[in-house]
């Protein structure tokens, strides 16, 4: 019985090949367009969040309750390694690592730049991600030497006109009145995906930073990357509750950078409105096709009902036919969408001109890497299939209204 | 007991132009094995009467019994199943499902009835040879002539082992040689297998082949002749 339904639905597709192809193409186009819009949007958002948040600010941050917004080194907190081990062991935490930072003047010959030095525990943060950020130089320089290695943001290194191996003088305010001063040897330059950071950040080993600023045993903040970074906001209070630390302030990036979060939400809503309009247009187009198709089949429905075919079977046939039609469109649209997003994944479009400048001034690289998240495809494939099925309810209603005799 | 029994069947169409009594208090009975034509001028109520007997439309009054079943009180759904298992239909035109071959059209009703594949293919093939188009078993309807399509429709109507075959003007769209062939087949099935046929027609050559002729006028039976 169901074999009959499948066979007839499939063959019905071939009755008006041009119409089936055009309908499938409409579905394919809608899906392709949806995949492109959402992949580019979501890709840009995660690029923004990754570069602005993930790399340098942390999805979740823990600091002394008074640390923000001054980031004054005097408001650093006492290192608590037992607590840090607990954080790292928490099931929702991917990694947690302490940092210590402060501001200073970096000088090489006649050039001086104001910057922020940041002491980093490379091992705790994952050496891989730091190796990816390396523009030139290396990390193979042991710490604890008299001359401390430093890795500068590549723009800052350019501005200082420095080369690998040069010795810089750093001078700033240290912990509780002690001076932060020392000689730093340029071990490498970093690309941070964020032009602002690249022109002001100087990375040190955490131990060197503590020594250099007289803040031994202190952490400025602890950065936590959750297993699911997209759930940072909801996770932050839960982590704070599970991992209590006296006088600590827990914050997710959304709280620290509400403008970024709001900009993303507003932009995303705009994309969804666009898609909604697209789906409406495609939906009405499909409805027109379905109305024509059902009225062409009217005589056939009546003849079959007269012979003794149940209306339910005819309805199943029509639904299946619509499903096949949308499935062909979905496959074509998904393949095209995946192919094009994959191409842009390999060759991210580079923004130029004003848009690029605007992006740089907002703090991220002017590239548009699409999201490769397969759930974008499955979500919108489901949307277009449901849309087609809803539209094909028209044909179902025609079946149920069909009499057994030709009038 | 007769195969088909109509009791005082009345069908009135109401429209703005006024009421039309299409079937006017008709009572008649048809025995198994009959080869009966319903005749009369256009608009006399042949189609309306056959639709009522076939369970496609409901009379306004009276009752219709087929075999042991009173179909007058059946629900729409029950009627669909009743038609599937008890009545073979041949319409004037547009009988076949365009996407199915002659063979598949013939096997179609058996498939709905749940007959096993080998059995239904064998029977479909036998029936197609009985109506003389086994050579075109794999043609779709648009690759068959009008007469060939009607013969496939007869094969399909027979396939389900119905109690009788109902045909409303089955030859109206056929030329005289196709009409002759179709009637030969129907008469042979009637003679050899005892299949009951009830058909309407305008065509004198068809009337001449019938063994009982029921004449309607204005919805009433005005003559009923056994030949
Ligand atoms: N749906 C309808 N609504 C109103 N009147 C109808 C309807 N169907 C049939 N009639 C009328 O009922 C009467 C009988 O029609 P019917 O179709 O049964 O005649 P017929 O004998 O089959 O005619 P023909 O030989 O032309 O096929 C006619 O007067 C017709 O106009
Ligand atoms: Mg008629």
User: Exposed/middle/buried for B111, CB within 10 Å: 0-12, 13-18, 19+?
Assistant: buried
Strand partners, A181: A171
Question: Which of B80, B82, B99 minimises the CB distance to A305?
Answer: B80
Per-residue pLDDT, averaged over B178-206, amounts to 92
Q: How many CA atoms lie within 13 A of A250 on its CB side?
A: 19
Q: Is the pLDDT of residue A359 over 80?
A: no
Question: What domains are defined for chain B?
Answer: 4-226 (3.40.50.300)
pLDDT at position A145 is 59
pLDDT at position A55 is 66
What whole-number distance in Å separates Cα of residue A143 and Cα of residue A140?
A: 9
CB contact under 8 A, A299 and B94: yes
pLDDT at position B93 is 85
Q: Is the pLDDT of residue A355 over 80?
A: no
pLDDT at position B66 is 96
pLDDT at position A377 is 94
Question: B28 touching A, CB under 8 A?
Answer: no
Q: Is the pLDDT of residue B96 over 70?
A: yes
Per-residue pLDDT, averaged over A1-28, amounts to 89
Question: A312 touching B, CB under 8 A?
Answer: no
Return the ligand number nearest the Cα of B14. Answer: 1
Per-residue pLDDT, averaged over B82-102, amounts to 93
B57–chain A nearest CA distance, Å: 7
Question: Tell me, what's the ipTM?
Answer: 0.95
User: Per-residue pLDDT tens for B98-137?
Assistant: 999 999 999 999 999 999 999 999 999 999 998 898 899 9
Instruction: Identify all chain A residues contacting B112, using CB atoms and an 8 Å cutoff.
Output: 1, 4, 308-309, 313
pLDDT at position A132 is 81
At residue A257 the predicted structure's pLDDT band, cuts being 50, 70 and 90, is confident
Mean pLDDT of chain A: 89
Question: A15 touching B, CB under 8 A?
Answer: yes
Higher confidence at residue B95 or residue B223?
Answer: B223
Nearest alpha-carbon partner for B144 in B113, B110, B106: B106
Question: B46: Cβ below 6 Å to ligand 1?
Answer: yes
Question: Which of B57, B95, B99 minimises the CB distance to A303?
Answer: B95
Per-residue pLDDT, averaged over B61-67, amounts to 95
Question: A407: Cβ below 6 Å to ligand 1?
Answer: yes
What whole-number distance in Å separates Cα of residue A139 and Cα of residue A205?
A: 10
Classify strands B212-217 and B35-39 as parallel, antiparallel or unpaired. Answer: parallel
Higher confidence at residue A246 or residue B4?
Answer: B4
User: Per-residue pLDDT tens for A62-71?
Assistant: 999 888 888 8
At residue A284 the predicted structure's pLDDT band, cuts being 50, 70 and 90, is very high
User: Per-residue pLDDT tens for A197-251?
Assistant: 889 999 999 999 999 899 999 999 999 999 988 888 999 999 999 999 988 999 9
Coil, strand or helix at A351:
coil
CB contact under 8 A, A306 and B91: yes
At residue A261 the predicted structure's pLDDT band, cuts being 50, 70 and 90, is confident
Per-residue pLDDT, averaged over A13-18, amounts to 90
Radius of gyration of chain B measured on its C-alpha atoms: 17
Q: Is the pLDDT of residue A144 over 60?
A: no
Give B47 Cα–ligand 1 centroid separation in angstroms. Answer: 7
What whole-number distance in Å separates Cα of residue A403 and Cα of residue A407?
A: 9
At residue B152 the predicted structure's pLDDT band, cuts being 50, 70 and 90, is very high
Per-residue pLDDT, averaged over A345-361, amounts to 79
Per-residue pLDDT, averaged over A292-303, amounts to 94
At residue A18 the predicted structure's pLDDT band, cuts being 50, 70 and 90, is very high
Per-residue pLDDT, averaged over A146-162, amounts to 91
Coil, strand or helix at A116:
strand
pLDDT at position A363 is 59
Alpha-carbon distances of A217 from A81, A214, A220, B172, rounded to whole Å: 10, 9, 10, 104
pLDDT at position A48 is 79
A298–chain B nearest CA distance, Å: 12
Q: Considering the entire predicted model, what is its pTM?
A: 0.79
Return the ligand number nearest the Cα of B23. Answer: 1
What whole-number distance in Å separates Cα of residue B218 and Cα of residue B46?
A: 10
Mean pLDDT of chain B: 93
Residue for token digits 């056994």? Answer: B226
Nearest alpha-carbon partner for A80 in A64, A103, A56: A64
Coil, strand or helix at A230:
helix
CB contact under 8 A, A309 and B85: no
User: Exposed/middle/buried for B176, CB within 10 Å: 0-12, 13-18, 19+?
Assistant: exposed
Q: Is the pLDDT of residue A369 over 90?
A: no
Q: Is the pLDDT of residue A364 over 70?
A: no
pLDDT at position A142 is 60
Residue A246 contacts by C-beta under 8 Å, 6 or more apart in sequence? Answer: none
Distance from chain centroid for Cα A152: 26
Q: Would you tell me which residues 44-103 of chain B have a C-beta closer than 8 angstroms to some C-beta of chain A?
A: 51, 54-57, 77, 79-85, 87, 89, 91, 94-95, 97-100
What whole-number distance in Å separates Cα of residue A405 and Cα of residue B21?
A: 18
Question: A372 touching B, CB under 8 A?
Answer: no
Q: Write down the number of H helices and E strands in chain B.
A: 7, 10
């Amino acid at each position: 019985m169901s074999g009959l339904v499948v066979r007839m639905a499939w063959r019905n597709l071939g009755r008006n090949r041009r119409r089936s192809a055009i309908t499938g193409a409409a579905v394919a186009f809608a899906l392709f367009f949806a995949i492109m819009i959402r992949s580019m949007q979501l890709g840009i958002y995660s690029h923004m969040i990754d570069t602005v948040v993930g790399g340098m600010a942390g999805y979740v941050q823990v600091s002394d309750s008074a640390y923000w917004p001054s980031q004054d080194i005097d408001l650093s907190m006492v290192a608590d390694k037992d607590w840090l081990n607990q954080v790292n062991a928490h099931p929702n935490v991917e990694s947690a690592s302490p940092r210590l930072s402060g501001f200073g003047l970096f000088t090489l010959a006649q050039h001086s730049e104001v910057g922020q030095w940041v002491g980093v525990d490379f091992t705790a943060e994952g050496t891989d991600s730091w190796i990816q950020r390396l523009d030139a130089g290396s990390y193979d320089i042991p710490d604890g030497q008299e001359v401390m290695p430093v890795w500068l943001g590549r723009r800052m290194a350019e501005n200082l006109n420095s080369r690998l191996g040069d010795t810089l003088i750093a001078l700033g305010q240290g912990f509780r009145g002690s001076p932060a001063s020392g000689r730093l040897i340029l071990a490498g330059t970093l690309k941070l995906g964020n032009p602002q950071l690249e022109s002001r950040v100087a990375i040190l080993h955490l131990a060197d930073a503590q020594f250099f600023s007289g803040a031994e045993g202190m952490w400025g903040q602890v950065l936590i990357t959750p297993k699911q970074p997209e759930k940072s906001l909801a996770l932050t209070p839960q982590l704070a509750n599970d991992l209590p630390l006296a006088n600590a302030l827990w914050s997710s990036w959304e709280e620290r950078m509400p403008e970024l979060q709001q900009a993303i939400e507003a932009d995303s809503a705009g994309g969804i409105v666009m898609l909604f309009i697209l789906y409406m247009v495609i939906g009405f187009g499909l409805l027109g096709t379905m109305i024509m198709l059902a009225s062409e089949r009217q005589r056939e429905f009546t003849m079959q009902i007269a012979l003794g075919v149940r209306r339910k079977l005819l309805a199943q046939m029509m639904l299946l036919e619509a499903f096949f039609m949308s499935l062909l469109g979905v496959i074509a649209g998904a393949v095209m969408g995946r192919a094009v997003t994959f191409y842009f994944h390999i060759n991210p479009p580079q923004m130029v001109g004003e848009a690029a400048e605007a992006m740089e001034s907002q703090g991220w690289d002017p590239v548009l890497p699409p999201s490769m998240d397969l759930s974008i495809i499955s979500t919108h494939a489901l949307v277009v299939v449901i849309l087609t099925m809803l539209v094909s309810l028209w044909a179902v209603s025609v079946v149920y209204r069909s009499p057994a005799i030709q009038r | 007991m007769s195969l088909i029994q109509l009791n005082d069947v009345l069908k009135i169409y109401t429209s703005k132009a006024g009421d039309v009594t299409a079937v006017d208090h008709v009572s008649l009975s048809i025995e198994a094995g009959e080869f009966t034509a319903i005749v009369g001028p256009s608009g006399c109520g042949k189609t309306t009467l056959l639709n009522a007997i076939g369970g496609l439309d409901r009379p306004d009054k009276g009752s219709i019994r087929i075999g042991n079943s009173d179909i007058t009180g059946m629900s729409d759904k029950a009627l669909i199943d009743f038609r599937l298992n008890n009545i073979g239909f041949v319409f004037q035109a547009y009988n076949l499902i365009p996407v199915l071959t002659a063979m598949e059209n013939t096997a179609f009703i058996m498939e709905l009835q749940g007959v096993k594949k080998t059995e239904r293919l064998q029977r479909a093939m036998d029936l197609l040879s009985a109506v003389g188009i086994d050579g075109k078993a794999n043609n779709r309807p648009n690759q068959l002539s009008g007469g060939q399509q009607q013969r496939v429709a007869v094969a399909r109507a027979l396939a389900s082992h119905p109690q009788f075959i109902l045909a409303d003007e089955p030859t109206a769209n056929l030329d005289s040689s196709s009409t002759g062939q179709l009637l030969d087949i129907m008469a042979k099935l009637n003679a050899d297998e005892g299949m009951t046929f009830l058909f309407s027609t305008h065509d004198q050559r068809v009337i001449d082949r019938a063994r009982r002729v029921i004449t309607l006028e204005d919805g009433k039976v005005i003559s009923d002749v056994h030949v």
